[in-house]
Amino acid sequence: MLRDIGFIACSELVDAVARYHHSTLKSDDCPTDFSSDILRCVNIALACNRLEELVYGPDPCPTKEALEAIRAETEEGHWPQEEAELLARLLSN
């Protein structure tokens, strides 16, 4: 995918992921005005960052418990549904 979007868009992608990976879908700063490819990458970063916080943060928990928390938070609208499900599928195998 990165090959196909060109250098300028790649730079925009890196900047967007770095800037917004600590946001949630409910955050005032959550981006909505990027291309669908960039938003998809930001959404993946959101879900992965949350997993990292739960598994390696101040109160670490097992991956299975972290995924359950992410599922519940996704239902509340904090995380992108498709990307959270993908993360769960990747880590469930």
With cut-offs at 50, 70 and 90, classify the pLDDT of residue 5.
Answer: low
Across residues 48-63, what is the average pLDDT? 95
pLDDT of residue 3: 52
The tokens describing 38, both together, are 């960039």
pLDDT of residue 58: 96
HEC letters along 14-78:
HHHHHHHCCCCCCCCCCCCCCCHHHHHHHHHHHHHHHHHHHHHCCCCCCHHHHHHHHHHHHHCCC
* 70-90 residue pLDDT tens: 999 999 999 999 999 999 999
| pTM of the shown model | 0.81
